[in-house]
Structure formats: C-alpha cells, structure tokens
Structure 1
C-alpha cells in the first residue's frame, strides 16, 4: 500500500495528498478529548462494562487511539470487571510510515507511556486487518489498512461509539458517502453514538438518512459547530451471502466461560492460550502422551510468508497472519528469552517456475518480501547461493514443541492439559457437548468445544462432511559440514535447510498426499538430500550421512487454506442451500445455522507455524462474541462450510 505523503510544517504533519492537517494546531490532545471522547459520553459510558467497541474512520497519527487508550487504562480498571477489554477498530487508506509516526507522536510527550507499544507493534503498509493486542490484552487494536468503502462492509462488529475522523469532506469526499454512512449504521445498535469534527450538510443529511439522530453542538477551538448523534433503532442489514452469515453481535451474555480444545498441537495450544487471556477456563484433550507430537513435533520449523500472485483474500490472510505470528513470537521471546525463535530471515530460491514468476511480478512491502540476486542471497546466507531468490527479512525458524510448552506456561492456571485421552465421539445433551472415549465413557463435557486435532476432525459424525485430508511429511537430520556451519538463515528450495543447531541441520521435507504412515523411510531421506545437493551444490560432500529422521502427518484441504470457525448444521445447509446453482436472489435464503458451541481450527498444512497465531484469534473472537479478527471476506474463504457451499453453487453431479 501507499504510505501517506507527509510534509512537516512547523513541527506538525500535513498531508500533501489531501492538503490538510492531521491534528489541530490549537491543541490536538484537547481536540480529541472534546470532539471524540466527550461528545460520545466517554469515559463515563464504559464504566462497569466487560468490553467496549470503538470504530474510527481515519487512523492517521493514532492520536485519537492513544488518547482513548490512556483514559481506558486509567479509568476502566477502577470500575470494570477483571479482563475488561477495549476493542478499537480503525480504517486507514494511507498509513503513515513508522518514522513519520514516531515523529508525529513525539509532539505529545504526555502520551509516551502508551505510544511506545503502538510504535513497537505498528505493522508495515500491507493491506488487511492487523490484529494487535496491547497492554496485557486490555486493549485490542484492529488496524485495518485499506479504503473505507471497501473495508467497512468487511467488518463484523457491534460498535458502541464511532469516531468519524479523516480529512474534511471537501478534501476527502470518498470518506463521507452514502455507502459509508449505511455501513456505519449496519455496524451500530440502539444506543450507538457518533461524533465528528465537521458540521457539513452532506454529513448531517447522510447520517440522518442512515438512521442516526443528529445534532449540532459547539465545535472545538475556532470551529463554530460539529456533529454528534445516536442510533435509536436496530438497523436491518441485508446479507449478500446469508450462507456465510455469523450471528449478529451484541453485548456479551453472561455465562460459563469454559471450553474444551481437542488437540495439543500449535493450533490447539494457541487457541487455548487466546481464550485463557480472555478469562476462559480451557481443558486441552490430547490422545498422545505429550503435546505437539504430530505435525507440530519437528525440532525446527520455518515461519515465513506465503506469496500469492495477485490480490486475493488468500494472500491477505497469509500476509497478515505472518506479521501476527512475528509480533506474537517476539512478544513471547521478550517474556521467555529461552524461546528458540531465530528471526534471521528466510531465502526462497528461484528453483521453480512458480518462484521465478513471483520474483518477476513481486509487488509488496519490503518488510514482507524482496527480490534479490544470487550475490545478495549469498551475502545474507553466509554460504554460496547460485540463483536469485525471494528474501523474507522478518521470517525465521522456531522450535514448535518448546513454543507450545511456553504458551501453555504463559496461559497459567486457566489451561489444563489432559494427555492419553482419546475422544472418539461426541453428543450434544442439555446444552453441552459430551466428549466420549471408545468405551463411551465420559471424558469431559462443555458448552464450547474447539476441534484442533488436524485431519482427525472429520472422524466425528457431526463433522464427517468437512473436506480435510492429510499428507505425510518426513524431515531428515544431517551433520553440519565445514561449509554448512556458516549458514546464517533458513533456505527453501524444493525442500529446505535450517541453520545448524548442536552441530546438525534439519532438512526436508517430503509431501505425500493421502499417505498415513509415520514410519521413517530411507528413500525419503535420499530425496531430501538429492533436492538439497541439487539446489546448494558444494555445501556438502557427495555422501551425506543421516543422523536422525522423523515423519508426521499434515492436515490439508483442497484449496490449501485452513478450516476456521463454527461447524455448520449439515442438514440445515443441505435443506436450504442445495439449489444455490439456480441463481436465486440471496434475500430468498435464510441465515446460516451452526451447531451450538462447536468450532474447528484445522487444515493448516505446511504453513501452520505461520497461520496458527491469527487462526487462534479468529476462533477466540467468535467464541467470545468480539469483533471478528479478520475481514468478512477472509472469513468466508476460511469458513469450514465453504466447499460445501461451492458444491451447491455448481449443482448436482458437478
């Protein structure tokens, strides 16, 4: 995305794109407090509530956000429940660069204590939803980079207060359109308020037409008037895809915040962690003797982006998931320095036509990926590289087993792990799921269950329709050579090699779809070595001994995206959506129906270490009735029922 074009005039930022200032020269802090906080009745309205949702058009320098956060942290804990959370959603089409953000916020030393965390976690200019928990989960910033007219329809939230900011209507008319006002109303509920610095007639009339009661009040400083208002009736929104509809959000219902997660790999442990940080009690059920014994059990794994050609929901998910993973791993390493997370960058060699096309057509933020020459790749790697490459400067490698252990430790007493427990069936009785073993004995019951047990999610009668499979993968461990000891970063080719630890390299990995054996095979070791020697000749001698090896199964889907979210009521879907191929209007279909309290988080394939962190937030935000952690369009391509819907659209026999 394009960064904001900033000029600095007398120490203050001015947008050259819109010829307008970012904050008032008469006192930006005071303006924020008067225009946005006071006119929305804050902080009084959030006293005693479990959570509060603010949405903003125009993040700019983050001044409104930081001022609000400072008040939230000072006031909310006094009278609000333990674990109260401020959800702040802000859309920005032209994000400031990090240096410009730092320079702008330096104007407000009173905000230094809160601005430091924003600056540390500020994402690169990559389109999409950047989900950023701050201040020990007491604040969640969803910083949404993109055009407001495109991104507002993608929000799934129940907003309590709107900050309608951005540049003036005559400078930036696209921010103040009928379509924008309608989306603002769609995301509001009775009692939702708004305020804005402008008193322009087009804004007043547009908000009134959308269902707001609007009044003019005294403006800030020399500005004579501004607008504020409130919604008095529920806005009935028409869903363009009711078969993907999630329940409309409102105030959280009080209830038993207890969940069971089945599966103790990275997806399950991270999901349990995300719920625990929201005040949930979580039991993890694992059939093996310890956590992370399946696909998450390799000694090292790569955390890197997945580059797609073209702009798509898939590429947006993996881009934002990658930066989410990096932020969370860096946070975890700050807390636990022993974490084996080495952010040394990753090289993807141009060893295939697909990668060569990606290099030729690369158009993304340099923080995500860079196209470099063989000479540049050699300098980064510390060993000779003979072909061009994609360089992912923020990527690295991780010890998956240790990361699961530390996440469980960080979750504290809210999470309990039960090993040697194999759930073979489920039944829904009296509003709760009973989880049964092979003898039909009760293991646990809970109102909320998340299936994170890889391809085994489809073993239950309720989820047998889920389109999930598996692929065998085998890694090999080889002794480091005199030359390979100099390797400084992970290198991917048709396989991959990781820097030496304890005198050995992990290389890999085979990919055999449908093969369910986990017994190591000599021929797969040989293939791993062949690919390595073909792509990095001279790094090793011709004969490379095998020190160790390991095979495991990856859970896969046909479209290479995970299954995330509530499990569909299969019978309801078949009854109501079977004729989608006939092209009837969406309004003729009812909203989707899901099995109460049953969710799935599986199918991450070979990118689980990258996608698991954001995926856990997608699940936790749904379970906890929060604003969705990704856009609606992304969730639709992750929905567990997406392939079922595609089949209905194609028609019988297709």
Structure 2
C-alpha cells in the first residue's frame, strides 16, 4: 500500500507519519537544483566521465531524481551512464509523483515515465531504466542504514535528504552518516538542505570537509561537504575499468543481453555464435511466457524472477513492437491468482534488438574451440550448455530438453483472453505469419540434449492442457498440432550462474526455462560487478546467482 500524501491548499505535500512537509513551499525543483545539484557541482563535475553515481538517502516524491535526470539530458558533456541510487522506506503512489512535478514543464514528461515503472515496490531493490538504459534508478525500499551496510557501490555525489532531523532523527544520525561515507570515493561531494550542528559535526567526524552555505528560503543556510578524510578509507573504491574490446560467446538471450549491457558502457563487443544467425538455440522458441514465480514464502526464486520480469518488460516496451513481438497481457494462474505484470514475448526479436545496438558486431558460423584463442580485454561465455566445453569442469552444467505444442487458431474458437499458467502454460492469440497461433507446454527433460520432435511429448503437453483448460483442449481434438523443441541449460541448484571465473573471463549461463526473465538481470549484474556500479538487485540476491557458489578450484 502506498504511503498517503496530504496535499495542502497551497500545493505543499505533507506527511502525517513524520508531521513534516516533503518539500518547501518555495518548490521542490528549486531546492533540487540550488541545494543538491549545485551543492555537488553538477552538472559540471560529471563532464566527460564514463558514468556518474549519485546516492540519495530519501527518495520522497522523486524531484531530486527528476532534476538530476533533466540536467543529464540537457548536458552535451553528460556521462554515458547516470546511476541514481536512492532509499525510501515509505514509497508514495505514482500519482503523487506526477502531481509533485506538475507545473514544471521540463519535469512532467519525465515524471510520467517514472510513474509508468512505479509498481510492485515490495521491500528490496528495484531497478528502473530510462533513456535506453543510460539513466538507471536503483530504488531500495527498506531502512537506509540497512541498505548502506549491505549494498556495495561507490558514490560520486551524495544528496543527503529526508524529513527534518528532529522528526526523523535516524536518517541523520552519526551511524547513518558514517555508512554514507563508506560508499564515497575520495573527492565525492555531498549536499543537504539542513545546517544542523549535529549533522555537520557527524559529517566532519566521518571524513568530510564541511561548509555552511547560503540556503534556500525558508532555510537560511544549507551544508556542502567534500569527502577527503585524513585517513585511508576502509574498502578501497576503484575506478571502473576503461571500456575496451569484448567478446561474447553465444547469441541467444543471455549473450545478446550481455552484449547490449556492455555496449551501453562503451565496450566494443563482438558476439560469436556457431549458428549462422542469432537466436538459433533455445532462444529460437517461437514465443515464451514472461511471468514471475509465486510462492507462499516469497522465496528466492520469487524475488529474483519478479525483478527479472520488471527489467525485461521495460526492454520490451522500449525495443519491441507491441502486439507483434510481445504483448503485456497479464496471466491467470490455475489457482485463481491474477498477475498483471506478465506478457508473452518472442525471444528472437528481443535478441535482434539487443544486438542491433551501436558498438556490437555479430559473427555467425564461428565456433570457438578454446578461450585461449581469444585476445580481447574481456571474454564472456554465454553459450548455454555449450559453455561446458569452454569452461571445462570449473562448473557443472546440465542440458534440459523442452518441447512445446502449437497450432493455428481458428475463427470462432473460445480462447482465454490472456495466457494461463499452472502445470504447464497456454498462450493464445500470438500473431504468426499473418494469422494467430496458440502454444502450450513445456516438457522438462533434465539431462536430455536431443532436439528431435517426439510424439509422446506432444501428447504430454496436450494432457497437461486438458487439466489446465479442458474446454480449450476439447477444441483441439482432431486439429493439426505442431511442435518445437530446444535445449536449455541449468546449474545444479537451478539458479543462473553469473560472475568471473578467471581473469578477464566471465560466465553468464544456466538461465534454465527462464531465459526471458533472467538474461537481462544477469547481464546488468555482470556489468555492475565489472564496473563497481550499484547492483540491480539486493546484494543477497546477487550472491545467490554468483558463479562463486558453484565454481570448482582449478587443479
């Protein structure tokens, strides 16, 4: 449930929880620009940088983020990538974000874009992507000190924000400010609207050079600070490596997503595949269902898949043709649960969209026999089960055969309005070669790498459909039923494997039957690890899919 905002007659937003206003009567945009952007020397400070990382301690109504995004868009010297990391224990409703930006012509369209992705904000980390993935908002819905203790990233600027220190003291106390300092690189600048003596003393004790400056009415003073401690900070922060030449092996969903994530960060990426065209393996599946896993305890797979679905939906909206390549239909589960944020997607168009980005070259009919033959600055193995031959016994991978049944949809049929998911799934009304098609499946043959079509698997899929949708199955009796089969790849614990296995060699594989869900998430996690960026998911979730858990030591 969203945090209620009381809008006073003069347009000032008020929080009953903290008995304080979200922004001054003079306007939040003026505060964002005068106090926070200028206080951190922005946009001048980020000029010419490959990326810039802003940490904010209270998202509120989002005006600081919108102002930073607007400044980035307007700056010809902007960094290639802008990261904005914020924490908010009590997220407001999307309509309050739009209302807060009303009257600011430069911010209103950005606020609407933000509101369109402002959903499903359960406790945890949520990655929202804008401007073709070059502006990334990582929103942590939880306690600020907890987030700062657990999440690894380096900040270039800090917006120290929140309700008044007297009304929300834990957002300004010494432990929190020390936690902020641990994320700062030397030279990072911090700005805040308060000139509280306690806050300034805590900043100084944490290693900041502190200055009281002219504030924005009704505040007489504000605070600027520079992180330059007399001691060497714990946990050395490294600069991101310069983007060079990268080779990605595999042109399926995982490989294409990884290539796109690297290219956005300036890498020149060559994608190699033994097939003549991209999406020739399991990613050649005609259509897939994108829906989060649901569990009573909201376990690991549920949380991971929910964030993967969020990220892939954003890419589909950006890059695919609605109604032709994908459609956000929602999905009905056989237990009656309705999942609004779900879609059918054709994997091949998504792969092609990712590979069409600048700085990416695809080379087909190219089989890699040994990683030692590659001389790139970075090599990423994303060849599904084919990765096993390249990494040897460093990890254990398993092939999983899957077969789906499909056919042409006939006029007059009674079909569900949306996909149905349960023991198997049914996807209706997918455009295919000028008509509509239905799909159901899939089988799950662990340890089986044969792609030959099997009649018994088609029968098994139709039997599951009889249990899932008996009326639909009855309409298929005697009709022509076709099939498609492919081989997926899983790890021992059925979770993806993402991480560095040797110097300059990374692995992204084992997406299992959730390639649409996990490929972009895994690609962005790899890029974040490589560049010391904020992670797209909670650190604990990231550890759960880190290849380190399954990596065998070399002999």
Is the TM-score greater than 0.5?
Answer: yes
CA 1:138/1:263 → structure 2, altered by over 3 Å: closer, same or farther? closer
Match of 2:533 among 614, 617, 626: 626
Q: Which residue of 2 aligns with 1:495?
A: 424
Q: Which residue of 1 aligns with 2:5?
A: 6
SS in structure 2 at match of 1:52: strand
Q: Which residue of 1 aligns with 2:193?
A: 197
Q: Which residue of 1 aligns with 2:253?
A: 266
SS in structure 2 at match of 1:251: coil
1:449, distance to aligned residue in structure 2 (A): 0.9
Q: Which residue of 2 aligns with 1:450?
A: 380
Q: Which residue of 2 aligns with 1:603?
A: 510
Match of 2:150 among 139, 151, 154: 154
Matches within 5 A, 1:116-195: 116-195=112-191
SS in structure 2 at match of 1:167: coil
1:298-329 deviation digits (Å, cap 9, x = unpaired): 11110111123325554332222111111111
Match of 1:404 among 338, 343, 351: 351
Matches within 5 A, 1:302-381: 302-333=289-320, 336=321, 339-350=324-335
Match of 1:556 among 490, 497, 503: 490
Q: Which residue of 2 aligns with 1:385?
A: none
Residues of 2 paired with 1:514 and 1:249: CA distance?
A: 43
Which stretch of structure 1 is more off in the superposition, 93-102 or 550-559?
Answer: 550-559
Match of 1:230 among 221, 226, 232: 226
CA 1:612/1:253 → structure 2, altered by over 3 Å: closer, same or farther? closer
Q: Which residue of 1 aligns with 2:471?
A: 538
What TM-score comes out, normalization by structure 2 length? 0.92
* Pair 1:252 & 2:240 matched: yes
Q: Which residue of 2 aligns with 1:638?
A: 545
SS in structure 1 at match of 2:547: coil
Residues of 1 paired with 2:362 and 2:418: CA distance?
A: 34
Determine if contact 1:128/1:320 at 8 Å carries over to the other structure. no
In structure 1, list runs of 5 or more residues that go unmatched: 239-247, 351-388, 428-433, 436-444, 568-594, 648-654
SS in structure 1 at match of 2:521: helix
1:483-510 deviation digits (Å, cap 9, x = unpaired): 7453321112211111044354211111
1:407, distance to aligned residue in structure 2 (A): 2.8
Determine if contact 1:286/1:422 at 8 Å carries over to the other structure. yes
1:214-273 deviation digits (Å, cap 9, x = unpaired): 2333332132333321221375446xxxxxxxxx64333445x21111111111112112
1:106, distance to aligned residue in structure 2 (A): 1.1
Q: Which residue of 1 aligns with 2:371?
A: 426
Matches within 5 A, 1:281-292: 281-292=268-279
In structure 2, list runs of 5 or more residues that go unmatched: none
Residues of 2 paired with 1:91 and 1:111: CA distance?
A: 21
Which stretch of structure 1 is more off in the superposition, 207-216 or 509-518?
Answer: 207-216
CA 1:26/1:253 → structure 2, altered by over 3 Å: closer, same or farther? same
Following TM superposition, where does structure 1 have runs of at least 4 consecutive aligned residues deviating by more than 6 angstroms? none
CA 1:137/1:613 → structure 2, altered by over 3 Å: closer, same or farther? closer
Matches within 5 A, 1:558-573: 558-567=492-501
Determine if contact 2:259/2:354 at 8 Å carries over to the other structure. no
Determine if contact 1:525/1:546 at 8 Å carries over to the other structure. no
1:203, distance to aligned residue in structure 2 (A): 2.2
CA 1:332/1:102 → structure 2, altered by over 3 Å: closer, same or farther? same
1:168-215 deviation digits (Å, cap 9, x = unpaired): 122112322333222211111211121212233432333233222323
Residues of 1 paired with 2:525 and 2:447: CA distance?
A: 28
Determine if contact 1:123/1:130 at 8 Å carries over to the other structure. no
* Pair 1:91 & 2:87 matched: yes
Residues of 2 paired with 1:312 and 1:196: CA distance?
A: 38
1:454, distance to aligned residue in structure 2 (A): 0.9
1:339, distance to aligned residue in structure 2 (A): 4.4
1:140, distance to aligned residue in structure 2 (A): 2.2
1:533, distance to aligned residue in structure 2 (A): 0.9
SS in structure 1 at match of 2:451: coil
Q: Which residue of 1 aligns with 2:360?
A: 415
CA 1:211/1:316 → structure 2, altered by over 3 Å: closer, same or farther? farther
Q: Which residue of 1 aligns with 2:60?
A: 60
1:458, distance to aligned residue in structure 2 (A): 2.6
Residues of 2 paired with 1:232 and 1:458: CA distance?
A: 47
CA RMSD between the two structures:
2.4
Residues of 1 paired with 2:262 and 2:408: CA distance?
A: 41
1:98, distance to aligned residue in structure 2 (A): 0.8
SS in structure 1 at match of 2:523: helix
Q: Report how many aligned residue pairs link the two structures.
A: 546
Determine if contact 2:134/2:264 at 8 Å carries over to the other structure. no
Determine if contact 1:485/1:500 at 8 Å carries over to the other structure. no
Which stretch of structure 1 is more off in the superposition, 158-167 or 537-546?
Answer: 537-546
